[in-house]
Amino acid sequence: DGGITQSPKYLFRKEGQNVTLSCEQNLNHDAMYWYRQDPGQGLRLIYYSQIVNDFQKGDIAEGYSVSREKKESFPLTVTSAQKNPTAFYLCASSIGASGRYEQYFGPGTRLTVT
């Protein structure tokens, strides 16, 4: 299951704190994505990046921020502005556009904010 990694597996934070989730891939993929998974809600797109130094908002970007300074890394920051941050966060990557190439998912980070 190498190729795309996320750390840590479990993360606990107090309300009001920003927290950054790590996503690294060694697949030489250009595109990277962040999804949020809640019970019974499927996966919802937060942000995606086609290439280094470029990223776009997904369907639920409010309260989140990202950066793409390196091809292999796409960290996600959950800010205190996110109303319901407790969720399972999945990072994914693909060679290129999702309409042409498979998205490979990382193992996920379960964030709990109390």
Partner 1 sequence: GENVEQHPSTLSVQEGDSAVIKCTYSDSASNYFPWYKQELGKRPQLIIDIRSNVGEKKDQRIAVTLNKTAKHFSLHITETQPEDSAVYFCAASIYSGGGADGLTFGKGTHLIIQP
Binding site for partner 1 (CB under 8 A): 1, 30-31, 33, 35, 40-45, 48-51, 58-59, 90, 94, 96-100, 102-103, 105-108
Which residues have a Cβ under 8 Å from the Cβ of 89 and sit 6 or more positions away?
6, 21, 34, 35, 36, 37, 46, 76, 78, 108, 109, 110, 111
Rounded to a whole number of angstroms, the minimum distance from the CB of residue 17 to partner 1 is 26
Question: Which CB, 19 or 31, lies closer to partner 1?
Answer: 31
- Whether residue 55 contacts residue 66, with contact meaning beta carbons closer than 8 Å, is answered with yes
Q: How many residues does the chain have?
A: 114
User: How far is it, in rounded angstroms, from Cα 20 to Cα 90?
Assistant: 13
Question: Which CB, 13 or 110, lies closer to partner 1?
Answer: 110
Question: Which CB, 18 or 102, lies closer to partner 1?
Answer: 102
Rounded to a whole number of angstroms, the minimum distance from the CB of residue 94 to partner 1 is 7
- DSSP tag of 41: T
Question: Which CB, 2 or 16, lies closer to partner 1?
Answer: 2
